[in-house]
Amino acid sequence: MADKVTIADVARYANVSRQTVSNVLNSPEVVREETRRRVREAVRALGYRASQAARQMRTGRSRLIAARIEPAQEDGINGSVFDRFLHGITESAARSGYRVLLYTADDHDAELATFDDLLGVYVPDAFVLTSTDYDDPRAAWLLEQRIPFVTFGRPWGVPDGQKYPWVDVDGAAGTAMATRHLLATGHRRIGFLGWPEGSGVGDDRRSGWARTLAEAGIGPDELAELDHRTEDGVPEGAAAVTALLAAERPVTAVVCVSDSLAIGALQAGNGIAVIGFDDTPVARAVGLTSVSQPLGEAAARCVALLTDMLDGDAARRRPRDEETTPGDADAPPDDPSNDGAGARGPSRTTTSGDSPAHILLEPALVHRRSA
Protein backbone atom coordinates (compact mmCIF):
# COMPACT_ATOMS: atom_id res chain seq x y z
CA MET A 1 0.00 0.00 0.00
CA ALA A 2 2.61 2.49 1.14
CA ASP A 3 1.60 5.97 0.05
CA LYS A 4 0.47 5.71 -3.55
CA VAL A 5 2.78 7.82 -5.67
CA THR A 6 0.95 9.49 -8.53
CA ILE A 7 2.03 11.07 -11.74
CA ALA A 8 1.67 14.46 -10.08
CA ASP A 9 4.26 13.50 -7.47
CA VAL A 10 6.69 12.55 -10.20
CA ALA A 11 5.98 15.80 -12.02
CA ARG A 12 6.62 17.83 -8.91
CA TYR A 13 9.84 15.96 -8.19
CA ALA A 14 11.13 16.46 -11.72
CA ASN A 15 9.88 20.02 -11.99
CA VAL A 16 7.71 19.38 -15.00
CA SER A 17 4.01 19.03 -15.61
CA ARG A 18 1.95 15.87 -15.35
CA GLN A 19 1.59 15.72 -19.07
CA THR A 20 5.31 15.75 -19.64
CA VAL A 21 5.70 12.78 -17.35
CA SER A 22 2.94 11.03 -19.22
CA ASN A 23 4.71 11.81 -22.48
CA VAL A 24 8.00 10.46 -21.27
CA LEU A 25 6.28 7.20 -20.49
CA ASN A 26 3.99 6.93 -23.49
CA SER A 27 5.61 8.87 -26.33
CA PRO A 28 9.16 9.61 -25.26
CA GLU A 29 10.13 10.98 -28.68
CA VAL A 30 8.26 14.24 -28.12
CA VAL A 31 10.27 15.10 -25.03
CA ARG A 32 13.74 16.58 -25.01
CA GLU A 33 16.49 14.16 -24.08
CA GLU A 34 17.53 16.04 -20.96
CA THR A 35 13.99 16.32 -19.62
CA ARG A 36 13.33 12.71 -20.41
CA ARG A 37 16.31 11.67 -18.35
CA ARG A 38 15.24 13.81 -15.44
CA VAL A 39 11.72 12.43 -15.45
CA ARG A 40 12.95 8.86 -15.70
CA GLU A 41 15.16 9.49 -12.73
CA ALA A 42 12.19 10.84 -10.78
CA VAL A 43 10.13 7.80 -11.71
CA ARG A 44 12.82 5.51 -10.41
CA ALA A 45 13.46 7.54 -7.30
CA LEU A 46 9.81 7.55 -6.27
CA GLY A 47 9.03 4.05 -7.52
CA TYR A 48 6.18 5.31 -9.61
CA ARG A 49 3.92 2.87 -11.41
CA ALA A 50 0.96 4.04 -13.47
CA SER A 51 -2.40 3.09 -11.99
CA GLN A 52 -4.10 0.74 -14.37
CA ALA A 53 -7.52 1.81 -13.16
CA ALA A 54 -6.94 5.46 -13.90
CA ARG A 55 -5.40 4.67 -17.24
CA GLN A 56 -8.32 2.44 -18.12
CA MET A 57 -10.79 5.20 -17.33
CA ARG A 58 -9.20 7.49 -19.86
CA THR A 59 -8.17 5.04 -22.56
CA GLY A 60 -10.74 2.32 -22.17
CA ARG A 61 -8.03 -0.32 -22.29
CA SER A 62 -7.75 -2.68 -19.34
CA ARG A 63 -4.63 -4.58 -20.41
CA LEU A 64 -6.50 -7.68 -19.35
CA ILE A 65 -6.92 -10.83 -21.42
CA ALA A 66 -9.71 -13.14 -20.37
CA ALA A 67 -9.28 -16.88 -20.53
CA ARG A 68 -11.44 -19.72 -19.33
CA ILE A 69 -10.14 -22.28 -16.92
CA GLU A 70 -11.71 -25.63 -17.58
CA PRO A 71 -12.63 -28.09 -14.89
CA ALA A 72 -10.71 -31.36 -14.85
CA GLN A 73 -11.17 -32.50 -18.43
CA GLU A 74 -13.60 -35.24 -19.46
CA ASP A 75 -10.88 -37.82 -19.12
CA GLY A 76 -8.48 -35.87 -16.99
CA ILE A 77 -5.24 -37.16 -18.36
CA ASN A 78 -5.42 -34.58 -21.06
CA GLY A 79 -6.34 -31.82 -18.67
CA SER A 80 -2.74 -30.87 -18.13
CA VAL A 81 -2.50 -29.87 -21.77
CA PHE A 82 -4.77 -26.94 -21.19
CA ASP A 83 -2.95 -26.18 -17.98
CA ARG A 84 0.35 -25.80 -19.79
CA PHE A 85 -1.25 -23.66 -22.47
CA LEU A 86 -2.71 -21.35 -19.86
CA HIS A 87 0.65 -21.06 -18.22
CA GLY A 88 2.13 -20.05 -21.55
CA ILE A 89 -0.56 -17.46 -22.12
CA THR A 90 0.06 -15.95 -18.73
CA GLU A 91 3.79 -15.77 -19.30
CA SER A 92 3.60 -14.34 -22.81
CA ALA A 93 0.94 -11.85 -21.84
CA ALA A 94 3.02 -10.59 -18.94
CA ARG A 95 5.92 -10.04 -21.31
CA SER A 96 3.70 -7.73 -23.36
CA GLY A 97 2.32 -5.94 -20.35
CA TYR A 98 -0.96 -7.81 -20.19
CA ARG A 99 -2.45 -9.93 -17.45
CA VAL A 100 -4.77 -12.91 -17.62
CA LEU A 101 -8.19 -12.79 -16.05
CA LEU A 102 -9.79 -16.16 -15.37
CA TYR A 103 -13.37 -17.17 -15.69
CA THR A 104 -15.32 -20.39 -15.69
CA ALA A 105 -18.42 -21.50 -17.49
CA ASP A 106 -20.14 -24.83 -17.69
CA ASP A 107 -21.51 -24.55 -21.19
CA HIS A 108 -21.59 -22.25 -24.16
CA ASP A 109 -24.62 -20.31 -22.98
CA ALA A 110 -23.11 -19.67 -19.60
CA GLU A 111 -19.92 -18.62 -21.30
CA LEU A 112 -21.71 -16.06 -23.45
CA ALA A 113 -23.37 -14.67 -20.34
CA THR A 114 -19.97 -14.45 -18.68
CA PHE A 115 -18.56 -12.63 -21.70
CA ASP A 116 -21.28 -10.08 -21.33
CA ASP A 117 -20.71 -9.77 -17.63
CA LEU A 118 -16.97 -9.37 -17.91
CA LEU A 119 -17.28 -6.84 -20.69
CA GLY A 120 -19.64 -4.78 -18.60
CA VAL A 121 -17.48 -4.67 -15.51
CA TYR A 122 -13.80 -5.49 -15.98
CA VAL A 123 -13.76 -4.88 -19.73
CA PRO A 124 -10.99 -7.22 -20.80
CA ASP A 125 -9.30 -6.11 -24.00
CA ALA A 126 -9.45 -9.54 -25.55
CA PHE A 127 -10.42 -13.18 -25.11
CA VAL A 128 -8.58 -16.42 -25.70
CA LEU A 129 -10.89 -19.29 -26.59
CA THR A 130 -9.90 -22.92 -26.31
CA SER A 131 -11.60 -26.22 -27.07
CA THR A 132 -13.30 -25.01 -30.20
CA ASP A 133 -15.82 -27.43 -31.57
CA TYR A 134 -18.54 -27.66 -34.18
CA ASP A 135 -21.36 -25.17 -33.82
CA ASP A 136 -19.36 -23.03 -31.47
CA PRO A 137 -21.41 -19.88 -30.85
CA ARG A 138 -18.72 -18.04 -28.96
CA ALA A 139 -16.69 -16.85 -31.92
CA ALA A 140 -19.75 -15.54 -33.69
CA TRP A 141 -20.83 -13.65 -30.58
CA LEU A 142 -17.46 -12.02 -30.09
CA LEU A 143 -17.22 -11.17 -33.77
CA GLU A 144 -20.58 -9.48 -33.61
CA GLN A 145 -19.56 -7.48 -30.55
CA ARG A 146 -16.29 -6.62 -32.28
CA ILE A 147 -14.25 -7.85 -29.33
CA PRO A 148 -10.75 -8.96 -30.25
CA PHE A 149 -10.11 -12.64 -29.68
CA VAL A 150 -8.03 -15.60 -30.80
CA THR A 151 -8.90 -19.24 -30.66
CA PHE A 152 -6.50 -22.02 -29.91
CA GLY A 153 -8.02 -24.57 -32.21
CA ARG A 154 -9.27 -24.28 -35.76
CA PRO A 155 -12.85 -23.20 -36.50
CA TRP A 156 -14.05 -26.71 -37.28
CA GLY A 157 -16.72 -26.61 -39.92
CA VAL A 158 -17.70 -23.02 -39.29
CA PRO A 159 -18.04 -21.07 -42.55
CA ASP A 160 -17.03 -17.69 -41.15
CA GLY A 161 -14.06 -19.22 -39.40
CA GLN A 162 -11.75 -17.29 -41.67
CA LYS A 163 -12.86 -14.01 -40.17
CA TYR A 164 -10.81 -14.24 -37.04
CA PRO A 165 -7.28 -15.28 -36.17
CA TRP A 166 -6.51 -18.68 -34.78
CA VAL A 167 -3.57 -20.79 -33.78
CA ASP A 168 -3.58 -24.54 -33.90
CA VAL A 169 -1.27 -27.51 -33.96
CA ASP A 170 -1.30 -29.69 -37.04
CA GLY A 171 -2.59 -32.93 -35.58
CA ALA A 172 -2.50 -34.73 -38.90
CA ALA A 173 1.18 -33.90 -39.25
CA GLY A 174 1.73 -35.36 -35.79
CA THR A 175 0.05 -38.68 -36.49
CA ALA A 176 1.74 -38.80 -39.89
CA MET A 177 5.07 -38.38 -38.16
CA ALA A 178 4.20 -41.14 -35.73
CA THR A 179 3.07 -43.43 -38.52
CA ARG A 180 6.19 -42.79 -40.59
CA HIS A 181 8.30 -43.61 -37.58
CA LEU A 182 6.55 -46.93 -37.17
CA LEU A 183 6.86 -47.71 -40.87
CA ALA A 184 10.55 -46.89 -40.71
CA THR A 185 11.05 -49.33 -37.86
CA GLY A 186 9.54 -52.11 -39.93
CA HIS A 187 5.87 -52.14 -38.94
CA ARG A 188 3.25 -52.74 -41.62
CA ARG A 189 0.11 -53.43 -39.63
CA ILE A 190 -0.29 -50.11 -37.89
CA GLY A 191 -3.66 -49.56 -36.24
CA PHE A 192 -5.29 -46.30 -35.27
CA LEU A 193 -7.19 -45.78 -32.04
CA GLY A 194 -9.39 -42.78 -32.60
CA TRP A 195 -12.46 -41.02 -31.31
CA PRO A 196 -15.89 -41.44 -32.85
CA GLU A 197 -16.40 -39.45 -36.02
CA GLY A 198 -17.56 -35.88 -35.60
CA SER A 199 -14.73 -34.50 -33.57
CA GLY A 200 -12.72 -31.99 -35.55
CA VAL A 201 -9.54 -32.71 -33.66
CA GLY A 202 -10.03 -36.46 -33.80
CA ASP A 203 -10.82 -36.60 -37.50
CA ASP A 204 -7.84 -34.43 -38.26
CA ARG A 205 -5.47 -36.67 -36.34
CA ARG A 206 -6.88 -39.76 -37.99
CA SER A 207 -6.31 -38.28 -41.43
CA GLY A 208 -2.56 -38.00 -40.90
CA TRP A 209 -2.32 -41.67 -40.12
CA ALA A 210 -4.56 -42.66 -43.01
CA ARG A 211 -2.74 -40.50 -45.52
CA THR A 212 0.65 -41.84 -44.53
CA LEU A 213 -0.41 -45.46 -44.74
CA ALA A 214 -2.07 -44.83 -48.09
CA GLU A 215 1.13 -43.32 -49.38
CA ALA A 216 2.93 -46.43 -48.20
CA GLY A 217 0.65 -48.53 -50.39
CA ILE A 218 -1.94 -49.72 -47.89
CA GLY A 219 -5.31 -50.09 -49.62
CA PRO A 220 -8.60 -48.67 -48.33
CA ASP A 221 -9.92 -52.05 -47.22
CA GLU A 222 -6.94 -52.77 -45.04
CA LEU A 223 -7.08 -49.23 -43.73
CA ALA A 224 -10.65 -49.79 -42.60
CA GLU A 225 -9.58 -52.95 -40.79
CA LEU A 226 -6.88 -51.07 -38.93
CA ASP A 227 -9.09 -48.16 -37.96
CA HIS A 228 -10.80 -48.37 -34.59
CA ARG A 229 -13.09 -45.78 -33.06
CA THR A 230 -13.97 -45.52 -29.40
CA GLU A 231 -14.70 -43.05 -26.67
CA ASP A 232 -11.70 -41.64 -24.87
CA GLY A 233 -10.37 -43.35 -21.77
CA VAL A 234 -7.83 -45.84 -20.51
CA PRO A 235 -10.12 -48.88 -20.31
CA GLU A 236 -11.51 -48.01 -23.73
CA GLY A 237 -8.00 -48.02 -25.12
CA ALA A 238 -7.32 -51.40 -23.59
CA ALA A 239 -10.50 -52.84 -25.04
CA ALA A 240 -9.80 -51.38 -28.45
CA VAL A 241 -6.29 -52.76 -28.70
CA THR A 242 -7.51 -56.13 -27.54
CA ALA A 243 -9.96 -56.14 -30.42
CA LEU A 244 -7.29 -55.14 -32.92
CA LEU A 245 -5.00 -57.88 -31.63
CA ALA A 246 -7.72 -60.49 -31.90
CA ALA A 247 -8.23 -59.76 -35.59
CA GLU A 248 -7.26 -62.26 -38.25
CA ARG A 249 -4.18 -60.27 -39.12
CA PRO A 250 -3.35 -58.54 -35.84
CA VAL A 251 -1.68 -55.15 -35.63
CA THR A 252 1.92 -54.84 -34.53
CA ALA A 253 1.67 -51.17 -33.61
CA VAL A 254 -0.97 -48.54 -32.89
CA VAL A 255 -1.09 -44.79 -33.21
CA CYS A 256 -3.52 -43.25 -30.73
CA VAL A 257 -5.50 -40.05 -30.81
CA SER A 258 -4.80 -39.42 -27.12
CA ASP A 259 -2.49 -40.50 -24.35
CA SER A 260 -5.44 -41.91 -22.44
CA LEU A 261 -6.17 -44.42 -25.16
CA ALA A 262 -2.47 -45.05 -25.57
CA ILE A 263 -2.04 -45.88 -21.90
CA GLY A 264 -4.81 -48.41 -22.22
CA ALA A 265 -3.22 -49.80 -25.37
CA LEU A 266 0.09 -50.07 -23.59
CA GLN A 267 -1.46 -51.99 -20.70
CA ALA A 268 -3.35 -54.48 -22.85
CA GLY A 269 -1.14 -54.40 -25.94
CA ASN A 270 1.05 -57.35 -25.12
CA GLY A 271 4.17 -55.43 -25.95
CA ILE A 272 3.23 -54.00 -29.35
CA ALA A 273 4.46 -50.54 -30.27
CA VAL A 274 2.24 -47.70 -29.09
CA ILE A 275 2.36 -43.99 -29.82
CA GLY A 276 0.17 -41.53 -27.98
CA PHE A 277 -0.80 -37.93 -28.48
CA ASP A 278 -0.17 -34.86 -26.29
CA ASP A 279 2.90 -35.95 -24.39
CA THR A 280 1.13 -35.68 -21.07
CA PRO A 281 2.96 -36.20 -17.79
CA VAL A 282 1.58 -39.72 -17.67
CA ALA A 283 3.25 -40.50 -20.98
CA ARG A 284 6.54 -39.33 -19.61
CA ALA A 285 5.97 -41.35 -16.48
CA VAL A 286 5.24 -44.67 -18.16
CA GLY A 287 7.66 -44.27 -21.06
CA LEU A 288 5.09 -43.74 -23.77
CA THR A 289 6.25 -42.32 -27.08
CA SER A 290 3.91 -39.46 -27.83
CA VAL A 291 3.27 -36.56 -30.16
CA SER A 292 4.07 -33.34 -28.37
CA GLN A 293 2.28 -30.08 -29.06
CA PRO A 294 4.36 -26.93 -28.82
CA LEU A 295 2.01 -25.40 -26.27
CA GLY A 296 4.32 -22.67 -25.13
CA GLU A 297 4.79 -21.45 -28.64
CA ALA A 298 1.09 -21.76 -29.41
CA ALA A 299 0.39 -19.58 -26.41
CA ALA A 300 3.01 -17.06 -27.45
CA ARG A 301 1.54 -16.89 -30.93
CA CYS A 302 -1.95 -16.36 -29.56
CA VAL A 303 -0.74 -13.48 -27.44
CA ALA A 304 1.25 -12.03 -30.33
CA LEU A 305 -1.83 -12.09 -32.54
CA LEU A 306 -3.84 -10.38 -29.85
CA THR A 307 -1.34 -7.67 -29.14
CA ASP A 308 -1.09 -7.02 -32.87
CA MET A 309 -4.84 -6.54 -33.00
CA LEU A 310 -4.96 -4.43 -29.88
CA ASP A 311 -2.09 -2.20 -30.88
CA GLY A 312 -3.51 -1.94 -34.38
CA ASP A 313 -6.81 -0.93 -32.83
CA ALA A 314 -5.19 2.03 -31.11
CA ALA A 315 -2.86 2.66 -34.02
CA ARG A 316 -2.85 6.44 -33.66
CA ARG A 317 0.70 6.35 -32.40
CA ARG A 318 3.33 3.67 -32.76
CA PRO A 319 2.67 1.74 -29.55
CA ARG A 320 6.26 0.98 -28.62
CA ASP A 321 4.94 -1.05 -25.73
CA GLU A 322 6.99 1.04 -23.35
CA GLU A 323 6.40 -0.62 -20.02
CA THR A 324 5.59 1.74 -17.20
CA THR A 325 7.76 -0.22 -14.84
CA PRO A 326 11.21 1.24 -15.21
CA GLY A 327 14.31 -0.80 -15.35
CA ASP A 328 13.01 -4.20 -16.35
CA ALA A 329 13.59 -3.94 -20.06
CA ASP A 330 12.00 -7.06 -21.39
CA ALA A 331 12.66 -8.44 -24.81
CA PRO A 332 10.56 -6.87 -27.57
CA PRO A 333 7.45 -9.01 -27.76
CA ASP A 334 7.98 -10.32 -31.23
CA ASP A 335 8.59 -8.97 -34.66
CA PRO A 336 5.13 -7.71 -35.55
CA SER A 337 5.66 -8.09 -39.27
CA ASN A 338 3.71 -11.09 -40.46
CA ASP A 339 6.37 -12.71 -42.59
CA GLY A 340 8.65 -12.91 -39.60
CA ALA A 341 6.28 -15.35 -37.97
CA GLY A 342 7.23 -18.25 -40.16
CA ALA A 343 10.89 -17.92 -39.35
CA ARG A 344 10.84 -18.84 -35.69
CA GLY A 345 9.91 -22.48 -35.88
CA PRO A 346 8.18 -25.08 -38.00
CA SER A 347 4.85 -23.53 -38.78
CA ARG A 348 2.68 -22.27 -41.57
CA THR A 349 1.11 -18.86 -41.43
CA THR A 350 -1.74 -18.14 -43.78
CA THR A 351 -2.47 -14.52 -44.40
CA SER A 352 -4.18 -13.07 -47.41
CA GLY A 353 -4.38 -9.31 -47.59
CA ASP A 354 -6.07 -7.89 -44.53
CA SER A 355 -7.64 -11.09 -43.32
CA PRO A 356 -6.55 -12.34 -39.91
CA ALA A 357 -3.61 -14.68 -39.53
CA HIS A 358 -4.03 -18.41 -39.16
CA ILE A 359 -1.08 -20.19 -37.69
CA LEU A 360 -0.61 -23.94 -37.87
CA LEU A 361 2.24 -25.22 -35.75
CA GLU A 362 4.09 -28.48 -36.24
CA PRO A 363 4.10 -30.96 -33.37
CA ALA A 364 7.10 -33.13 -32.52
CA LEU A 365 7.48 -36.81 -31.76
CA VAL A 366 8.97 -37.57 -28.37
CA HIS A 367 10.61 -40.97 -28.47
CA ARG A 368 10.39 -43.26 -25.47
CA ARG A 369 10.36 -46.98 -24.76
CA SER A 370 6.90 -47.74 -26.15
CA ALA A 371 7.87 -47.38 -29.84
CB of 111 or CB of 204, closer to a second copy? 111
If binding is defined by CB under 8 A, does position 47 make contact with a second copy? Answer: yes
Q: x/- site string to a second copy, residues 306 to 345, per CB under 8 A?
A: ------------------xx--------------------
If binding is defined by CB under 7 A, does position 135 make contact with DNA? Answer: no
Strand 227-229 and strand 99-103: pairing? unpaired
Task: Give the span between the Cα atoms of 9 and 42, in whole angstroms.
Answer: 9
Q: x/- site string to a second copy, residues 85 to 124, per CB under 8 A?
A: -xx--xx--x----xxxxxx------------xxxxxxx-
Give the DSSP H or E segment for 151.
Answer: strand 149-152
Among 28, 46, 55, 70, binds DNA (CB under 7 A): 55
Asked whether 263 and 251 are in contact (CB, 8 A), the reply is: no
Q: Which of 152, 171, 86 is nearest to 364 (CA)?
A: 171
CA triplet 72, 78, 79: central angle to 5 degrees? 30
Q: Which of residues 293-352 bind DNA (CB under 7 A)?
A: 316
If binding is defined by CB under 8 A, does position 56 make contact with a second copy? Answer: yes
- Beta partners for residue 365, in sequence order: 291
Tell which phi-psi region holds residue 321, choosing left (phi > 0), alpha (psi between -120 and 50) or beta.
Answer: left
Q: What is the 3-state secondary structure (H, E, C) of 51-78?
A: CHHHHHHHHCCCCEEEEECCCCCCCCCC
Q: Which of residues 56-85 bind DNA (CB under 7 A)?
A: 57-59
Residues that bind a second copy (CB under 8 A): 1-2, 47, 49-54, 56-57, 62, 64, 69-73, 75-77, 79-80, 83-84, 86-87, 90-91, 94, 99-104, 117-123, 145-147, 233-235, 260, 263, 267, 280-282, 284-286, 324-325
What is the binding site for DNA (CB under 7 A)? 4, 6-8, 15-20, 22-23, 25-26, 30-32, 34-35, 48-51, 54-55, 57-59, 316
